[in-house]
A and B are shown apart, each in its own frame.
Chain A
Amino acid sequence: MTGIRLRTLPYCLLALFLSFASLDRASAQDVGAAPDVSKEGVAPGATAAAAPAAAAGATTGDAAAIAAGDALFKGNCAQCHAVNEVVVGPALAGITKRRSLSWLIPWIKNSSKVVASGDDYAVKIFNQYQKQQMPSFQLSDAEITSIVSYITSQEGVNSPVGGDTKGVAGKDATDTAAAGTEAGAAKYVDILLIVLVVVLIVLVVTLVIIANIMKDVLRGRKDLDGRDVELLEQRFDWTKLYKSKVVRGLALGVFLLAVLYESVQGVMAVGLTQGYQPTQPIAFSHKLHAGEHQINCAYCHTSVYKSKSANIPSANICMNCHSQIKTESPEIKKIYRAIQKNQPIQWVRVHNLPDLAYFNHSQHTQVGGLECQTCHGPIQNMDVVYQYSALTMGWCINCHRETPLNTKGNGYYDKLVQLHDKANGAVPFTVSSNGGTECSKCHY
């Protein structure tokens, strides 16, 4: 019987290996399908460009007004207010029932003036919230109206994240749905594969068992001639295989190829820091700020829409909120200490482009309309930030080759689009077809 065990073992191992390999592939596909990332709170250019469509004076249910209000709310109010819960300032749900617009507009524009005027409600609110003054906002009446419209539309919605505006939400929904079906199909194929593999293993094992049983049966019989016995007692000669030049050569070749492949891969990865996740001096969590609290990226990274550099926030930006919030946290106290000592916080740089490559954030965010997550990954889920993308030249070029230009409504591109459509309307007008892969676009 020992013979059976021994001989079946290689087959079992092979079968196991096969099934693991298929499982592995399946999980890899899962990762590939994963970035159905929530794209909230980072609408590019929204803070700057949102044009409130609502007429001043009355809140509307108009989707455009709500969209504009959404952007404005996230850009200006969300640091201290939420619709349905108390943050720094009061929850804003039902604000239209509590106060009229004609009271709200001067309040938002300059709250301290209203408090100083002795308005009862204003003084009450001021005292109730630790005499913390609400900053003045340079918003137009129409903009304030649209913010209020947005707040009204969000009342009672449990998660303030959810479906933001109809347009965006609709698009997102279809996106997610599409991604869902895709992912479903992928899973189905995986299951099928696993089942097939299992069937195969069972088949092989069964066959081996049958063969052994038959051999045992044959051994029991005494009427076998010499040839049959030879056949029956035949053992595979491993030493022959071991001594065979062809096999040795093949093994050596495979081994060398594997080593070569690994070393090339290793060399190519020199200087690549994808996945780099250093420990930062302060345990700041993007998951908490950008994910849970939905703070607009541009609130802290102030110049991401206007400059080459996105700008790591200075301590005074942290202080906008943390002069009030979580003042006892040891991590926040590090900021206080930095300010006291007059020494800036030394963050560890995660994304390092070589000096020879020029990169401009505003080109990609403001002009190209890209989401932060496109390159930075699911930042809203990261407790500690890591480098999501490879940041290699190949990675840049690929995107430039594949991505259509964001030409809509941009007067710079009008004639170029016409020219492109006339000459080659069938293919998309990509970044590279406008010269976006030329050397001097990034190297100078």
Chain B
Amino acid sequence: MQESPKYWKGIEELENSPEFVKNALTEFADFLPVKETYGSSDASVAPRRDFLKLMGFGLAAATLASCETPIKKAIPYLNKPEEVDPGIANFYASTYFTGQDYNSVLVKTREGRPIKLEGNPESPITRGGLSARGQAAVLSLYDGARLQHFAIKGQKAEKDRVDQEIRSKLASAGRIAIVSPTIISPSTKKVIAEFTSRYAGTEHVMYDVNSASGLLRANGGVLPAYDFSKANVIVSLAADFLGTWISPVEFATQYIQNRKVSSEKRTMSRHYQFETAMSLTGSNADVRVPVKPSELGAATLALYNAVVGGGAGSSYKNDQLTKAANELKAAGSRGLVVSGSNDPAVQTLVAAINTALGSAAVDTANPSMVRQGDDARMDRLVTDIIGGRVGAVIFYHANPVFDHPKGVQLAAALPKVGLTISLNDRLDETGSLCQYAVPDHHWLESWNDFEPKRGFLSLSQPAISPLFATRQAQDSLLTWAGNPQSYYNYLRAQWSGLTGGAAGWDKAVHDGVATGTASPAPVAQLGAPMSAAAAASAIAAAPKGSGIELFIYEKVGVGSGAEANNPWLQELPDPVSKATWGNYVAMSQKQAKELQLEQNDVVKVSANGKSVELPVLVQPGQAYGSISIALGYGREKAGKVADKVGANVLPLATVKDGAVSYTTTVTLEKTGATSPIAQTQTHHTIMDRKPVVQEATLKQYQKDPKEVTEYEKLVTPEGKVMPGKVSLWQDYEYKNHHWGMAVDLNSCIGCGSCVVGCQAENNVAVVGKQEVINRREMHWMRIDRYYSSDAHKSDFEEKGKLDTYAAMEDPSENPSVIFQPMMCQHCNHAPCETVCPVLATTHSSEGLNQMTYNRCVGTRYCANNCPYKVRRFNWFSYYSNEKFEDVNGHMFTDLGRMVLNPDVTVRARGVMEKCSMCVQRIQLGKLEAKKQKRRPQDGEIVSACAQSCPTQAIVFGDMRDPESRISKLLRREDGERAFHVLDAINVQPNITYLTKIRNTDSSEFNA
């Protein structure tokens, strides 16, 4: 019998709080939400007079409306571009990089407007994957909060006047600084160099909000390129490499290669994670050890001592660390250590360990370029600006007033600078303080090139003509430098040496990627590198942490906060905490009990004379003695969506030894207020049903793959049989296609790319914080996250019943985590179909569970009867109800509506909706095949979620085609890892899950 851990969706479920029980037993949070508009004391009754008024008006309106058919215009092109055909999507290769993660993308455009981004399979770096942030980036193009014209002190101004004034002021400015996040564009750097040569005394300073300056310093000014597919033992010291660290999509695709298993390949890499906050990477680790931020250096030193030897003595001792060190040594060049710390000493030791191992996964010869920020240089510049020693500053997509630790002082000093120019896309916290605003195009409107890794190039091309009277930043810089050339020509000239001729250029534009290098040599970091010995002694001499330590981290969705005004990102649940709309103070259960705090209590976190007030979230796995707060929130001038959401924690960070330190000691103070956190966590609960998620250890799998999955069987007179064999219903016969999906829980890392991809593809509405709290989020696809504890059946005999029950009730301090993407299961015997009184949900001859909005009358019986809780009800007109104008604004304006997928209906109020398995893509794929008089090929038709998955955890295809990937996979895994969720209720889903395998001994389940 398999050891079956018990799962909890969260602390509430574990504690069985009254609130949780109430929610768990009801599918819908509340009755019709019409009452809030009426001031009646009896809230459940709508006043009769209002009803009559409404009815009267409704009748009159209906009568009037039926008298006359509105005249609709059909406006063709005046001069139709040859390659654009209305109704046919065009794809253009481009690149998404805004100073955070790099993604090579394909831009899907309809009638000349970008509507979706997809990963570019041609890219050797991201290999068709795309991050959640990348998926959401298309919405930022239509952000109405973008600055739509040139401005002087916030007032609209003529382009020529702005240029003239800037040029004359630049000539006499003296010291000029260009501040930007990391720029990986070789041509842009050349433009900046040209600007610098025109205006001597110009300095270009790059800084990253979540800095890797320490890592750069430890590696001689370059960022090593990592290849996780070449590592069998991975030790991560607080590096969230699957979520936010350096290049998560690239790393996820590499990492997963050694994590996928089959009965032919029964090996996996071993992944140790030592970290403070429960990160996406930590939740995927085989062994996770919570470590306070102040202990991280000592832990690194201990690892260094164990692997390399010879460092100063470390105070940190942990059995798992010893084991990790031993395994690293055994793995040799197949071992890899990474660290997310920004402390140069820690990174120096990590580099020394990797060198000692001879790790094949680290490549410093062809380094990565995506982090080039130099904290010391930026700190010096900020100090100089504050000291009045800078004549002119140009902010190029940089917003240091918001995202630099010294932002507040900078804000006070900026008005005193002689010339301040913002090239940012909006009048943000920094831009609004600048004299001149010369907004840049959105990247989907621009030409540009990128070199994310030495030797690998990519291009971005305009997918739409500029929406506003903006100008590409490079063109602005060239204009001011006195170069009349356009940036496009400049770029072409740059590339003529790389691609050779028009054909090569055309190919590069078509593919989006090319090989070759064009970047200048990296600029050395200002801070001096240190030797391993010096680093070891520096760490050993570091003061021990005292009190409660703050750890500032980055979230998968909002990231650095530059794209915070994107509602898709704000509503994307955090992979682990499942919280949306805002940041919070994450602390362990033990800590919360000690401080007598409960979830949602607002606390004041103070350090260095600054403070933020945020609610508490009890986060299992958070290191005791520490709290975590995400950066990127608390924007003031980003736009309606992001303003005043959460609080900005970056002022609490400090600059230490020329590197931003994201940890500090804080004091906590209860304010007495409460502020609910919008979590999707315990919504849509599946309770008391065991086989929802299944997992096993690698040892079990190696022994016998047929033993890892527990199948529920039904007792019949003929003996025990699989539930599918016994049925009341007649089976469907699928003659043509039988669409299905397989989700490999071993490959799913929970990154949320599919959630946003689905939202973009299917016009899913954003509902805002309050409606998420009301459990009315509309995501068709969610990623369920389960915590498990280590209480096993065997404990009853060993420890006795009472102790075991006590242990089960004891909150898990460091649970293992499992992710499960959950969407409509398209059951063959669907319970929703049988209860619909109007036949609005029916089964198709291709295995789809069809939802027909125009037939739905909104009884919600189907949602009540769905065992998977994947149906979503439209409680409001999210596209016209003023309550949602701030959060779902893109459905309100002509500008925002350009992002909607024209092939998918925008659902009206009062109808049910759910995953359609991207039926519009299926229909399109079939039609293309029919036009070419052939059967569709496998892989031609994919759902948006399967398309976006960087780890290929989701496989979509035709189960009727024996040669399709999904058919082969299901044949291979049948009886081994393949299982259906809630198989015993015999609804026969078309979605199959594959059991998760952990590379751990059972005793290590909770280290």
Which A residues contact B (CB, under 8 angstroms)?
A: 270-271, 273, 276, 278, 302-303, 306-309, 311-317, 338-339, 342-349, 352, 354-356, 358, 360, 362-363, 366-367, 409-412, 416, 419, 434-435, 438-441, 443-444
Contact = CB atoms under 8 A, between A and B. Distances in A.
B265 interface: no
Given A348-B72, A440-B919, A435 B930 contact: no
A311 B76 contact: yes
B904 A444 contact: yes
Contacts of B79: 314-316, 339
A250 B191 CA distance: 93
Contact of A344 (B72, B75, B936): B75
Contact of B916 (A307, A347, A440): A440
B948 to A, nearest CB: 19
B476 to A, nearest CB: 28
B735 interface: yes
Given A309-B86, A348-B73, A411 B78 contact: no
Contacts of A356: 853-854, 905
Contacts of A443: 850, 852-855, 905
Interface residues of B, number: 46
Contacts of A271: 66, 69
Contacts of A362: 927, 931
26 contacts: A303-B86, A309-B87, A311-B85, A314-B79, A315-B76, A339-B78, A344-B77, A344-B78, A345-B76, A347-B74, A348-B74, A349-B74, A356-B853, A358-B920, A358-B923, A367-B927, A367-B930, A412-B930, A438-B845, A439-B842, A439-B852, A443-B850, A443-B905, A444-B903, A444-B904, A444-B919
A349 B72 contact: yes
B78 to A, nearest CB: 4
Nearest to A414: B935
B933 A409 contact: yes
Given A307-B86, A444-B916, A438 B850 contact: yes
A278 B71 contact: yes
A347 B842 contact: no
SS class, residues of chain A in contact with chain B: loop
A444 B86 contact: no
Interface in B28-85: 66, 69, 71-80, 85
B542 interface: no
Contact of B88 (A270, A306, A314, A412): A306
Contact of A306 (B840, B853, B931, B934): B931
A314 B935 contact: no
Nearest first, the 5 closest Cβ-Cβ pairs linking A and B are A308-B87, A307-B87, A435-B845, A440-B850, A314-B80
B86 A311 contact: yes
A22 B844 CA distance: 47
Contacts of B931: 306, 362, 366-367
Contact of B80 (A270, A316, A358, A438): A316
B503 to A, nearest CB: 20
A278 B85 CA distance: 26
A374 B755 CA distance: 43
B667 interface: no
Most chain A CB inside 10 Å of its own CB: which residue of B78, B855, B929, B935:
B78
Given A344-B77, A349-B72, A362-B931, 18 more contacts: A302-B85, A307-B88, A314-B78, A314-B79, A345-B75, A346-B74, A347-B74, A352-B69, A354-B854, A367-B930, A412-B935, A416-B735, A435-B844, A438-B844, A440-B848, A441-B923, A443-B853, A444-B903
A438 B842 CA distance: 8
Given A358-B903, A363-B927, A411-B935, A306 B85 contact: yes
Given A367-B927, A412-B934, A440 B844 contact: yes
Contacts of B853: 356, 443
Contacts of B86: 303, 307, 309, 311
Interface string B751-773: 00000000000000000000000
Contacts of B355: none
Contacts of A303: 85-88
B579 to A, nearest CB: 32
A412 B926 CA distance: 9
A439 to B, nearest CB: 4
A142 B330 CA distance: 71
Contacts of B935: 411-412
A434 B736 contact: yes
Nearest to A350: B74
B846 interface: yes
A347 B736 contact: no
A346 B73 contact: yes
Nearest to A363: B927
Contacts of B840: 439
Contacts of A360: 87, 927
A367 B930 CA distance: 6
A306 B932 CA distance: 11
B76 A273 contact: no
A56 B725 CA distance: 63
A347 B931 CA distance: 30
Contacts of B80: 302, 311, 314, 316-317
A307 to B, nearest CB: 4
Contacts of B933: 409-412
Contact of B850 (A306, A315, A409, A439): A439
Contacts of A313: 76
Contacts of A307: 85-88
Contact of B73 (A309, A349, A412, A434): A349
Nearest to B929: A412
Contacts of B852: 439-440, 443
A363 B85 CA distance: 16
Contacts of A441: 923
Contacts of B77: 314-316, 344
A352 B72 contact: yes
A346 B77 CA distance: 10
Interface string B834-860: 000000101011101011111100000
A352 B85 CA distance: 20
A394 to B, nearest CB: 14
A312 B76 contact: yes
Interface string B903-940: 11100000000001001100100110111011110000
A354 B935 CA distance: 31
Nearest to A48: B931
A352 B854 CA distance: 17
A438 B919 CA distance: 12
A416 B934 CA distance: 12
B66 A411 contact: no
A342 B842 CA distance: 49
A443 B854 CA distance: 8
A355 B86 CA distance: 16
Contacts of B735: 416, 419
A444 B842 contact: no
Interface string B849-888: 0111111000000000000000000000000000000000
Contacts of B88: 303, 306-308
A150 to B, nearest CB: 25
A238 to B, nearest CB: 41
A290 B743 CA distance: 54
A417 to B, nearest CB: 11
A439 B855 contact: yes
Contacts of B74: 312, 346-349
A303 B89 CA distance: 13
Nearest to B62: A270
A412 B933 CA distance: 6
A354 B840 CA distance: 18
Nearest to A335: B78
A440 B86 CA distance: 22
Contacts of B85: 302-303, 306-307, 311
A343 B852 CA distance: 39
